[in-house]
A and B are shown apart, each in its own frame.
Chain A
Amino acid sequence: MYSEKVMDHFMNPRNVGEIADADGIGEVGNTVCGDIMKMYLKIENNTIVDVKFKTFGCGAAVATSSMATELIKGKSIEDALKLTNKAVMEALDGLPPQKIHCSVLAEQAVKLALTDYYKKRGIDPEPIVGKIVDCEGCHHGEENS
């Protein structure tokens, strides 16, 4: 069901944990949709110097969180904002269709953490980060065939 890359990131997730003095924290998802991701960012000179995550969810949820942290660590904020769920998916060699929403959550968790970063600095995040709809791409409640 999962690619080797997904399994690797699930079995050996990178950057698990919390950052006590994080500059930005983003939490996305809920137990109704089945996954919750929490992303912690440490930012210095416009660069993401450290990132940690905690995730409640399936194998894909853990793997997408882990991959997202790898993709933004050491990058500038501008680059991190360009992270898409598609990029996360591709880096993991794909996801089963019903797990695509996990990659959406990973992208949103990063963006919400950056939103929090700007808010903390008294800057309106919306023109920079954009509006984030919680649980976008999560189709829970749909009739299964």
Chain B
Amino acid sequence: MDKTIYFDNAATTQISSEVLNKMMPYLTEEYFNPSSLYSRAQKVKNAIEEARKNVAEALGADPNEIYFTSGATESNNWAIHSIVEQNKKNGKQCHIITSKIEHPSVLNVFKKLERDGLEVSYLNVDAEGRVSPEELEKTIKSNTVLVSVMYANNEVGTLQPISELGEICRKHNVVFHTDAVQAIGNVKIDVLHQNIDMLSLSGHKFHAPKGVGALYVRKGLKVENLLFGGGQERGKRAGTENVASIVGLGCAIAEATKDIEVKNRHLKELREMLLSGIKKIPKVKYNGSLEHGLTGTLNFSFEGIEGEGILLLLNSYGICCSSGSACTSGSLDPSHVLLAMGLDHGLAQSSVRISLSKYNTSEEVEKFLEVINPIVERLRKMSPVWNEKI
């Protein structure tokens, strides 16, 4: 097989060599428990705090507003449950708001809380996948305690008007949480000025290892204990720290946020190539927002054929992509994101996501464009619903 072409960076990314180098000592000679007293252990502790500082700097936050977690699923669960629990303790009948296009690690928490009897509202999105600030403002009620809207969508790359949403939440004194997993290293984030109260992130989306993430909690906002045990993470999230991964996360976030413009310039070139190349194939729909979207995430629906077939054939050329169609994820339902954007089931089933990283090259895009047209033609010839005359 030819060299692998990895166009699935919204799923995960490769660890950068600099990150790995920074991590290695903590997997080998610097094995000491950061909670111990001796100086070798304190050095390890300092490495964690250095990483915390890097995460804080990347977000415009203070280091003591950062908690390390196992990833964004944990951060999202923690943030949402924490706010709900506090308000329940106060005997409040809570109302919470999210969007229809969230990642399952937010959406399924909201659905669970809804089953438990909480009042939940799911914000609509427009055809480009954007939430309307006006709708949010209309949805907020006197008992609304939390709004959770993702920064950038994982399937189509659409960016939400986070600053506007934050401002509305602040005005109504509602906690604003955002799942920023896809945004880190792609857009400039400033939690203070954007009125973000809580933010989740995950290392493996920006060249750190899997299994490490963080939750930002604005100073003054109380956070419930997630894990009871020792005093790690200021007592809120007990358990001996995942030191090497935390160091990797700290290194990766500094790398990712220092070169946002350079990276986006590169990705924009690749995106233009992809857009103009794919435009030559008839009956392809671009899903997302070119104006308000991540430069490296592109989603297309190829009319008349199903996404998984395209992925399997791309795979035979060593090209890794994802599909918005749920077939690949083990469920038969098409993407909830594309359906919320107004696509019919057929188009939602026929989507493919291309997500790029700084490591991708124009040669790789050329190779992709070379094979995608014959793949689409081949599958369309097989399809009972394809009719080019329509």
What is the interface of chain A, defined by CB distance below 8 A to chain B? 7, 10-11, 13, 16, 27, 30-38, 54-59, 61-62, 96, 98, 101, 138-142, 144
> In the assembled complex, how far is the CB of residue A34 from the closest CB belonging to chain B, in whole angstroms?
5
- Say yes or no: B384 contacts A27, CB within 8 Å: yes
Q: State in angstroms the CA–CA spacing of A142 and B326 once bound together.
A: 12
User: A35-B306, A59-B308 known; A54 and B382 CB under 8 Å?
Assistant: yes
User: A16-B381, A34-B325, A38-B384 known; A62 and B309 CB under 8 Å?
Assistant: yes
Partner of B332, one of A16, A37, A56, A139: A139
Contact with A along B325-358 (1 / 0, CB 8 A): 1111111111000000000111001000000000
- Say yes or no: A58 contacts B331, CB within 8 Å: no
Partner of A140, one of B312, B316, B333, B381: B333
- Say yes or no: B331 contacts A98, CB within 8 Å: yes
User: A59-B308, A62-B309 known; A144 and B330 CB under 8 Å?
Assistant: yes
- Say yes or no: B382 contacts A55, CB within 8 Å: yes
- Say yes or no: B330 contacts A62, CB within 8 Å: no
Which B-chain residue is minimally distant from A11 (CB atoms)? Answer: B316
Complex interface: chain B residues within 8 A of A34 (CB): 306, 325-327, 332, 334, 345, 349
- Say yes or no: A13 contacts B382, CB within 8 Å: yes
Complex interface: chain A residues within 8 A of B331 (CB): 98, 144
Complex interface: chain B residues within 8 A of A35 (CB): 306
Partner of B312, one of A10, A55, A56, A139: A10
B383 on the A face (CB < 8 A): yes
- Say yes or no: A57 contacts B306, CB within 8 Å: yes
| Pairs A-B, 8 closest by C-beta atoms | A31-B346, A144-B331, A58-B308, A54-B384, A38-B384, A31-B345, A58-B327, A140-B332
> In the assembled complex, how far is the CB of residue A22 from the closest CB belonging to chain B, in whole angstroms?
13
Which A-chain residue is minimally distant from B381 (CB atoms)? Answer: A16
Q: State in angstroms the CA–CA spacing of A3 and B306 once bound together.
A: 20
- Say yes or no: B384 contacts A36, CB within 8 Å: yes
Q: State in angstroms the CA–CA spacing of A62 and B346 once bound together.
A: 16
Q: State in angstroms the CA–CA spacing of A54 and B380 once bound together.
A: 9
- Say yes or no: A56 contacts B333, CB within 8 Å: no
Beyond A55-B382, A142-B332, 12 additional contacts (C-beta under 8 Å) are A11-B316, A27-B384, A31-B344, A31-B349, A34-B326, A34-B345, A34-B349, A37-B384, A38-B384, A58-B309, A62-B309, A138-B332
B304 on the A face (CB < 8 A): yes
Complex interface: chain A residues within 8 A of B384 (CB): 27, 36-38, 54-56
Interface size on B, residues (CB 8 A): 28
Q: State in angstroms the CA–CA spacing of A101 and B333 once bound together.
A: 13
Complex interface: chain B residues within 8 A of A144 (CB): 326, 329-331, 333
Which B-chain residue is minimally distant from A97 (CB atoms)? Answer: B330
B305 on the A face (CB < 8 A): yes
- Say yes or no: B306 contacts A10, CB within 8 Å: no
> In the assembled complex, how far is the CB of residue A125 from the closest CB belonging to chain B, in whole angstroms?
21
- Say yes or no: B305 contacts A56, CB within 8 Å: yes
Complex interface: chain A residues within 8 A of B344 (CB): 31
Complex interface: chain A residues within 8 A of B383 (CB): 54-56
Complex interface: chain B residues within 8 A of A16 (CB): 381-382
- Say yes or no: A36 contacts B308, CB within 8 Å: no
- Say yes or no: A36 contacts B385, CB within 8 Å: yes
Complex interface: chain A residues within 8 A of B306 (CB): 34-35, 56-58, 61
- Say yes or no: B333 contacts A141, CB within 8 Å: yes
Which B-chain residue is minimally distant from A39 (CB atoms)? Answer: B384
Q: State in angstroms the CA–CA spacing of A55 and B379 once bound together.
A: 9
User: A55-B384, A56-B383 known; A98 and B330 CB under 8 Å?
Assistant: yes
Complex interface: chain B residues within 8 A of A96 (CB): 330
Residue of B305, B333, B346, B381 contacting most chain A CB atoms (<10 Å): B333
Complex interface: chain B residues within 8 A of A30 (CB): 345
- Say yes or no: A59 contacts B346, CB within 8 Å: no
CB pairs A–B below 8 angstroms (21 shown)? A7-B312, A31-B349, A34-B326, A34-B327, A34-B349, A37-B384, A54-B383, A55-B383, A56-B305, A56-B383, A57-B308, A58-B306, A96-B330, A98-B330, A98-B332, A138-B332, A140-B332, A140-B333, A144-B326, A144-B329, A144-B333
- Say yes or no: A57 contacts B333, CB within 8 Å: no
Which A-chain residue is minimally distant from B304 (CB atoms)? Answer: A56
Q: State in angstroms the CA–CA spacing of A67 and B166 once bound together.
A: 55
Complex interface: chain B residues within 8 A of A31 (CB): 344-346, 349, 385
Q: State in angstroms the CA–CA spacing of A13 and B125 once bound together.
A: 40
Q: State in angstroms the CA–CA spacing of A140 and B330 once bound together.
A: 11
Complex interface: chain A residues within 8 A of B313 (CB): 11
